[in-house]
Amino acid sequence: MSLILANFPSLTGKFAVGCYDIEWKNKHYAADNNRPPSAKSVLMRLYYPANIKKDDHKANWITDSQYAKALCDIAKLPAFLSNWLSGLASAKKTRFYKDAEILDGQKRPFPVVVFSHGLGGNRLIYSSICSDLASHGFVVVAIEHRDGSASLAKGIDDEWIQYDNVPPEIWGFRHHQLGHRVSEVDLCVAGLDEIAAKGLHKANAPNFKGKLDMESLVMAGHSFGGATTMLALNETNCRFQCGVLLDPWAQPLMMMADKQVQIKKPVIVILSEQFTFWPDNFESVKELIDSSTCSSQSICLTLNGTEHQHQSDVLLVLRYFTLFDFRSPFQIDPVRAIDLNTEAAVTFINKCIASPPYSKKRKSTVATSTAAVGDANFGFTRVIKKSRLAA
C-alpha cells in the first residue's frame, strides 16, 4: 500500500504524539432564530505530546471509509477508483497514537492551538501539520465543522452531514456558515476550559486535567478556516494570543456588509504560491493585515512552488501520483512543504505567547532566528509587511 499512498513523514519535534476524539455538548444551548447562531455540540480531535506505551497503536489516517469516499466525490473520481482509494485510506497508518496518555511530568502545561479546516476538509485531513505542531509541545485541537463546509462531518447522533456543494461566492450563505463556525470555536474553547480544570470522566480517556495552558491560546485555520480564524480574532473579548492563517480565503470577510472585520491579534499568514497568484484574494488579505490593530506585529509570507493543498494531507499521501505530473507549476516536495509551514508557525507562535513550549533543537531547513522571520531567506518570497520580530 505504501507504493500507492505514501507514508506520512516523521514528526519534526521532540515529542511523540497521541490523538483523542471528543464530542463536547453545549450545556446552555437554546435554539432561537432571533439570536446569533449557537453550536449545539462540537466534534474535535486533540493532538498532544504523549507518553507512548508498548500496547499503544498508531492511529489510522481516516476513521471511516465514508470520509475518504466523500473526498473522492468532491474530486469527481469514478466509483471504482473511489472505492479502491477509500479502502486504502482507511487502513493508512499515521505517525501518532490513538488514545495514548498525554505526557506527564512537564514543568508547565502545554499551549493550545485551535484549528479550523477549509471547504471540503474535516478534522482528519490536516493531521500532518496538526501532529507536527503537537510534536513541538502544543495541544492542537482540530474542529470538524458541522455547517455543511466539511467534505463529510459526523453529526451529534452519528448521522452524516454532507458537503453543501454550494458555489463559493454565495456570500450570504458563507456568512451564515462563518457565524456557525465561530460559535463552534467558542464552544470548543469553553469545553477546553472545563477539560483543563476537571479532566475527562471517561474510561481510558487521557488525563488532560492541568495539562492545557488556556492562557496561551492560538487560533489557526486553512482557507475557509483562515476566514474563520480572522473572524474569531475580530471578537471584542478575544482570548487568543495570535493567529496562524494558512492560505486564508479573505473575500467572504470583505463582503460582509453588516460587519467591519478588524483583526485584533498578531497573525502569521503563510500563502501558497498558488494563492499568491489570486489577485483579488491576495489584495483582500493585504488589506485585512494592514488594517489590523496588530499590523506591525504581523507577517505574511509566500512559500515558493506550492499549491493550496500543500497545507493539508492530500498531496502528502498522493505524492507518488503527482511526482511525474509536469502540468503543475507547483512542484515542491509535499513533505518539505509541511515542514516549512510547521517551522514558520512554531517560530511565530513562540514569539507571541507567554510561555512557549520546549522544542527540539535541530538543523533547520529554513532560517528560524528572530531576525529571519521577516526576511526573504526564510524559505519564502513575497513579504507583505515585516513585523517587529524582524527588528
Q: What CATH number does the domain containing 105 carry?
A: 3.40.50.1820
Is position 10 within any domain?
no
Is position 314 within any domain?
yes
Is position 109 within any domain?
yes
Give the separation between CA 186 and CA 39, rounded to whole angstroms.
9
Cα–Cα distance list, 4 to 71, 84, 115, 217 (Å): 17, 11, 28, 38
Would you call 280 helix, strand, or coil by DSSP? helix
Residue closest to 23 by CA, chosen among 48, 45, 49 = 45
Catalytic residue among 132, 213, 247, 339: 247
Is position 189 within any domain?
yes
Give the separation between CA 271 and CA 334, rounded to whole angstroms.
15
Is position 6 within any domain?
no
Is position 3 within any domain?
no
Is position 7 within any domain?
no
Q: Structure pTM?
A: 0.90
Res 387: pLDDT: 33
Per-10-residue mean pLDDT for the chain, 391 residues long? 81 97 86 64 98 96 95 91 92 96 93 98 98 98 97 93 93 95 96 96 92 97 98 94 97 88 95 93 94 92 92 92 66 90 95 75 37 36 37 28
Res 385: pLDDT: 40
User: Any catalytic annotation for residue 201?
Assistant: no
Catalytic residue among 135, 308, 312, 359: 308
| Concatenated DSSP letters of 180-243 | HHHHHHHHHHHHHHHHHHH---STT----TTTEEEEEEEEEEETHHHHHHHHHTTSTT--EEEE
Res 259: pLDDT: 80
User: Any catalytic annotation for residue 308?
Assistant: yes
Residue type, 279: P
Helix H or strand E encompassing 285: helix 279-290
Number of structural domains the chain divides into: 1
Give the separation between CA 373 and CA 390, rounded to whole angstroms.
6
Catalytic residue among 149, 223, 284, 312: 223
Would you call 155 helix, strand, or coil by DSSP? coil
Range of the domain at 381: 17-390
Is position 84 within any domain?
yes
User: Any catalytic annotation for residue 247?
Assistant: yes
